[in-house]
Structure 1
Amino acid sequence: MTQNPVKLIECPRDAMQGIHHFIDTDLKAQYINLLLQVGFDTIDFGSFVSEKAIPQLRDTKEVLSKLDLSNTTSKLLAIVANLRGVQEAVKHEEINYLGFPFSISETFQQRNTNSSIAQSLDTVKQMLELCDQNNKKAVVYLSMGFGNPYGNEWNAEIVEEWSTVLVGHGVKILSLSDTTGISSPEKIKQILPALVSAFKNVEIGLHLHSTPNTRFEKIEAAYQCGCRRFDSALKGFGGCPMAADDLTGNMATEELISYLNSKGEPLNLNMDKWNQALLLSREIFF
């Protein structure tokens, strides 16, 4: 049986969003332009959310205007958190994907998007319609997919139930998100194979947060369970500021690349541009 090719989603948006000092718009664009030349499937580059919620990304439209898409195969993904953000994002022809964080924790959904799960499901439905009308694809992140530190009930059955609901409404790309870094190889092995098996026509991805000492084992468990869509960020920078806890960083792209190379996956990345991005990252993340 032929395996699907691995898709790498590099997430400078997630890496930058929690940084308190404002990163110059030109520097953001310079960094993302380098990442666009590496050869990742998708660049999660910005978000159309409230400036008050994520002040770092208030210049997403300006950054977008400075991106050079003439020499890249990478697609652009922007995060949205409400209908207003969806309506704004679909206006931009350059954007391929809209990503929405759908939490199966009522507490975190309110904390992250200032809306209930029911309201967020309605937003997802409207986002799917607007994506269809504007030649975009929707990515729904199943946030708190591996546990809930806020006291709401969580189990694998709840994950499957909400996945079934979302797929039933037309979601074609579903990314399980470990917002606070509480996943483990055991939980990945418990949850992921059932979803991959149940939704054969849906792209199931992972957006894992992790501490450095547990990254490799999570990558390995996910790959062995059939995941072929991975979100990560250079050096593991970033985390979710809306969790308002100690930030747990992203999966480190270089570790993901190393693991996938060891498995013989044809990634076709321009490592010269990657190394240039690594150098430039020192001006951003310090």
Structure 2
Amino acid sequence: MSRFLKALCYLFIATVSGCSNHANLNDKSAPADTIAKSSAAIKPDYSKYYTTKDSLLIVTENDDSLQYSKEEFNQLIDQHPELLHIDHMDYVTDPDLMYYSTSNKEGFSSEAGKDTYYMLYAYFLKQQQGIEKYAARRKKLIDIYTNINALYQHIQDGGTYFGHQQYRILAYAEFSLHTFIAHESSQSKTYDIAKEKKLYISLLRQIINDETSLNYDSKGKNFAEETRELNYIVDNLDQLITDIFYLKRAQAFQYDKYEYY
């Protein structure tokens, strides 16, 4: 066969093939059905995380609670699978980032709703990380954050922010626990933290002295009592911070969440 005839054959085959593909792309009956089936096929199934109980009571470490019917809880799983933390345990998302990143805030858009979202964040992450194994470290983190929150609540003369923090601290502590777990087998900072901790505790006491001195005239007889109460909170922190992890987490939490001018 001559080169000319071979070229004509190749051209004919390419034309027929192209027409066939073009016809498939413009077939208006098949693609819609195919796309629908494809979408249904790839929809994630979270049913294994459903509760089988008629209702579910979630009790937190600070003795607050959330209660859901079976239908409510299972619907929550479907609508907010990000809370399960199942797709990103190697890199758990910070609770603030997760909350502001979710597009569906139905039921969680108010401040109270946001509190609930953070409580759920902590609940589900705790299931993944180990409830009993890290119970003591989890409790200590919550206590440290609670004391820092209480310290600034007194210094700032209260406010709704500190009340909401009581609920959200559960998520912050659980996220910090994830940081510990991620580095548990490779910790290299084993030196004595006594001097570093002493400086940090001294800094907190200096903050108390500076803040209470501003309000001496207005507080009158309560000045000494308030100073004692604030220093008692710092005494608690002094007892709770027992290693470098707790020290670094306390500093990070304080500087990230409590900045006033």
Greater strand fraction, Structure 1 or Structure 2: 1
Higher helix share: 2
Question: Normalised by the size of structure 1, how large is the TM-score?
Answer: 0.24
Larger relative contact order (Cα-Cα within 8 Å, sequence gap ≥ 6)? 1
Q: Which has the larger Rg?
A: 2
Instruction: Tell me the TM-score normalized by structure 2.
Output: 0.26
